[in-house]
Structure 1
Amino acid sequence: MTAILEGRNIVKTFTTRRGGQKHEVRAVGDVTVAADRGEIVGLVGESGCGKTTFSRILIGIETASSGTVLHDGKPVATKADWKALRRDVQYVFQDPYTSLCPTMRIGEALAEPLLVHGIGDKSERAERVREALSLVGLQGFIADRLPSQLSGGQRQRVSLARALMIRPRVLICDEIVSGLDVSVQAQVLTLLTELQASLGLSLIFISHDLRVIRYLCDRVVVMYRGEIVEQGPVERVFGAPESDYTRGLLAAIPDHSRRGEPRLGLRPAGHEGARLA
């Protein structure tokens, strides 16, 4: 099966200055990750491991030093190629407040991708906005609100709605629940699994939280210092990790059942439509 989206042998090097001299820092080193149709791929690792840089290269926010981005098996090389990719692949950012224009009403923000891609007239765009809000569980009056008038969970739902406006096949979700309360995290993740199932989306889900990866993803890619140290089906990686680094990450997961802290209320991946516990 040809992957919808693939980053192949991606290398990203940044040049910094220190003490008047140039130094090269390799953020991503020869990383290959692909997303098949309907698959949820988790990209996990500590902050600074290169997972966000890699994901931004997949959508063209960052440019790779070397390597190739492929869309439906074909290298993305020209402006036309990138435009076609961005019709199929949408990015959901970590902070929904800073990713939304504070002076733009929600309806305008949702309609903007349609304007950029020349989709529909004014009435058709308004209808698509209503449909998108309903899809993520928000009422139509939200279209007239400003981002500052919404809760964090509502803003993240708006970000998902905006990403879905042009009906992509792939969503790249970058730490989209890390700043939310545990109960709101569960609601957003439940919504995401429902959208993935109903729309047949492929997801690349970036997180430092292995509990979220375990419950949400089909396959996991573990990164450390810009490189992949382990990858495979979630059940195999979590059940029998091969890398010392992965074992260390798993050992660091808090045991909330012992400490009396709230657990993420989702069923493990493989259950139909993960739900709030």
Structure 2
Amino acid sequence: MPQPPSPIAPQDLIAGLAKGLAVLESFDTERQRLNATMAAQRAGITRAAARRHLLTLAHLGYLETDGRQFWLSSKVLRLSGSYLASARLPRLVQPVLHRLAAQTGLSFSCVVRDDSEVVIVARSAVQESGQQVLAHGLHLGSRLPVHATSTGRVLLAALPLTELDAWLEGRELPRMTAHTAVDATALRSLLQQVREQDYCLACEEHELGVQALAVPLRNMGGQTLAALNLVTSRQRLPASAMRAQLLPMLQEAARELRPLL
């Protein structure tokens, strides 16, 4: 799990860099194209500052523009590509995920938490019609709400209670489906269940018709670094079968990886 930002002296903080990254992070699946006004609102800066950052990022090749709106260019993938090439976690878990996918025909992921979201850092492909595809429209770098996913709940359950309390305080939990737990008290109860059973099964809480099973991925010191999960449809496999057939496989994979982390 990513560590919280380390303290920094005010004189060491490059505010311009922080604002530029905030503008870059303003682009997502909901807002794929932004003008200066929208970028300013999303990044929390003035329109004039947003315009300068957008123009600079376009000049550097990270954005493309038609003169009014801006959108991400493929150069942005250099940043994620560098992470995937250099980070130990994705390289260690990828062979295990591919093996599990080959054994079951299902899609497996390794996920870490970034505040209110989980991020897929490794992902297996499944075979359909002789081709490898990624199930349910997910891909490396996909970000999902932490409270509505099996992996997110595994990672939240690993937090010390004081840290969990601080994270939940005043936080609005968006409703993704009619099954999503959006009440803090209800979520606390679910997280306690995850702690007791050491896994999480989430059914149709993020997307209708989709269920996911997750287990914590810990190092030898007992620290939860990430979560391993599988995603499938309710029609393909009932929840009882996921627990009986696939939970032992996920748990064994986590035990296999533990000495390597």
* Higher helix residue share: 2
* Higher strand residue share: 1
* TM > 0.5: no
Higher relative contact order (CA 8 A, sep 6+): 1
Q: TM-score, normalised by structure 2?
A: 0.29
Q: TM-score, normalised by structure 1?
A: 0.28
